[in-house]
Structure 1
């Protein structure tokens, strides 16, 4: 077998589909762009031998246009290339084969002049194609395309020779030549000469050896190895099999990966190779921390000798690097850039659909300790508008204030909070079960764990840094910037006052929001934010937010009035004063009791929302106590409305009080319970009364003496009169 890697056979369209379909209709011939294309050979169209344009373009004419110009030039002349049928509407253009230049005819091959005993028997074998297409070496790698073509062609030629052998034996029997002697040498000769016709007929060549002895070493294994079928694998070079054999055992691969990524320090691949060599010689002992197992270096079946270069190459393969680098890497961002595929996402179309938030430090220092300002910012991805920002000298408490500020801004501007949020996990993960739960503050929340490229805001920060801030005095370059213009210069460090850094950053936000939108270039980003809000946004879910984002104040309710923030409030629901049964129900909970009020102030210091939290329940709101002028002449229209509201509030309580009073009945209680256990303790000198002498005799009336009302002038009311 010749050296396989040196054989370079052209992959032609004629190779792939000849064996799949035998169709002589030229209209069904595939185009050259189709990978599955069969051999386009000259064929009879009526009495004319023709070829299609695909046989000529681009092999002999660069483009179809150049072929058509050539045909047009010789259309009315008795010589030159001639078209016998126009193409179009699913039909192939047909060219008269005999009108082609002789060199093209010889290159294509004239089937009328081609005579070889193997031509009638040759066709590409479908089983060979399936076998070599699906073939895998020991290490799982497939055959390269040029080897696939070579082995499919060789197998098909051998099968054609087998069919020729059968036909030739039948012919010899007719000639009463019973001996098959000399049959295989004749087939070997036919195979050698068949290479003169294969390129013209099918665009390929076989690589079966020309010597009979080498031919015999291929013929016998191919046909005689299996009782049924053919041994296609015998055609594959042993050298290829050796190159793709499994050089390393699974135990070796696992051990080398453990040595590379499982040690307390990070060795190089060369160091691992040296350690493995020492392990095989017994100079180095390896123990599994998990199981306590001591690896047996004398087990040659598991741990083979291998060169240092092979170990270095194996450890450098992607399938091993992706695990070992993940174990060794301390920079998750670089790890993800090297190994993790990224998603291609379409641009958000409407404002209020998704907001992306993260922290950043503007590249300026405000003191000699190289301290920098902390910002936490949010950008609406649909409008590209910065909608929220807070700042401070540290990150402590900045995240809670950021969400409070977001609520303030959106309410002040008259918009609902965005539908979705994307954020990093370091500051936000602790809120995932409270106000960052889906449906609380946002309908959908994506919290990314150390995945900078997943957040769109990172690209916006980069634009802020290099397009807005870079031109200012004191700008700091990144330590390892790729571009030279973004690297640190030789100038001395400049410190900018803290207040100036804040003011410049806010100025950049103003410039940014008033700049043209990337898609709607005729509008600013702020205009897009105001005019293209998503219609599915929801009102603020205060009940879910205030227990976590609100400020807390302890207060109480007395006669339906609540003292809060140096003024008075009343009970309310949905921003309005509560009346009727709802008011009575709420007062049953809070009247005369202490409770917590969770509230949030606006940018102007006023109360945006305040709600009563009592007995583990968010009960209701507190709304400002309606007020109006005592003088009717100074009372405004709003004052009249406030007077009616407060009167209704008062009348609700009065009505409930009257109802409760009407339901009360008068009763008399006679108490027979003794106030003492016994009379053992007595004070000397006091007149004692027995049970029968409990009333002095002089106060008792005689038994027969009747009571005469007319003779008695008492002023005290009798207890009996209470029952009349």
Structure 2
């Protein structure tokens, strides 16, 4: 965004590269070409030695001027009211759907912009209504339609001011519905949830039904042989066409392929993908696998064991160069420092030979220090524009790292830190060997002496500066004289500070690596981690939900190391969402005799982690039924080719006839014989 520099409007090189010029060399060539001509691009201030290079805005081509935007011509009623709402940033960053899924990054940005524009429009409505009342216009009719027009036209300015656009409807009817839902749903506050579209839930569920998933899992793991996923996809296609029957071995039920609400047509590629999802694969592989060791290696989280052994409100920031030379080229060390205004204690400092190379590291160091000291980040930040303006729409936006950020352009006196730099220079550093006076100091005792300049080694300058910071923080506070500045910082923290919003700023200042999850374990930084939420190990439904996303997948890890070099915070970024934390893998001694209370706790924690996956595996395994596949598809077109001499079964196509058998009648003559002689019982044994 162009700014006033004296009586002219200027832009920096960062606003021109690479959008309008490919690189710095191209820009320098263009400036040199028109240097002595009365037209063309003109440089009004040379960069270097801590100064920013400025280009005359009016010397740029009209196309570039129109693209950047001329603030002298940008007059819109919403400009003075618009700012990013920190509550909206936090709300949409932390928002979760019913299944625990967070918003994707592009939707977060869209909803934050829309909410901030609506809040600015409400401020404009109140101001405009006040003006109307002064003009005795008591009827507010037409006020809201005028606000709708202002919001629509504001999209012409947003890209030039903040490099973004809002998506608030321009139709008054739809705008009125959105306005009322946002402002009139609650007695106090705003209904941020009304902005979120309900169509963001997983659309795949509309095609893949629960019955289809169950059937595919049964076909994949419930058959006598082990089909591939491709074969299952082909079998499912044949099942839908009626060429293949699927029967449940448990109930004897024949699956009805004509039930379109349960079984729908889907591509082979989708079937293969669904069968490869972790939540399906963990059950089917448990059913199919005959090697338990490989199954556990693939899916079950493992414990990490030790080797057996015997025996814990406003910050003002800016860059500075301590007045000491460290080489013959008159080079000076660059420091970037931050001071807590309330306690007057230096809380963040980094150093290097180039100030541009240390700005990101400065914010990393701030997070490291505050986190390791056990404090939340400050509520507010004041900083200079030179190095920080490029972060205005990322981690220096209101609500991301700080609730409110003031970025000052060429206004050194507006920042508290500048005055503290002067005190540090003249009350602490002046007595050190090699101290350099300012070229045009007003006081005689601060002017340059006749002595020859002394070169101090780089490391000595750094160590000397760190010693001055220690001395400063241990000195009495200007108000609470019975306490040091550091004691005031530790004992008098603002109660309204917010917990560190890692999810919002870690993708911008964190380091990036790629890794993957296998059986709930992530190998990262030469060690292992497990899945977690809010710094704690994930268990139960939370763990299963995360495993569905990341197990067996490759993902991005945004992380930050601590002052000791170990991982301070690590988060998984997958499918355009900051999904979860990485928590160090709990470990304990293999020997019960060397295991302490912490080891017992780690063992219980890891067992709960393992049992969560085991229980889910058993649940999915029990849900799988054995099926019988009757394949009615013909493999041949006809039987014209036959090998002679083979015995073949030839079915008899004649209809069987009933055979009537004639039975000859035989006459029997029965001559009854009467005997009067009785048989004795003893004759049976003779």
TM-score, length-scaled by structure 2:
0.48
Query: Which has the larger Rg?
Result: 1
Report which structure shows greater RCO (CA 8 Å, sep ≥6).
2
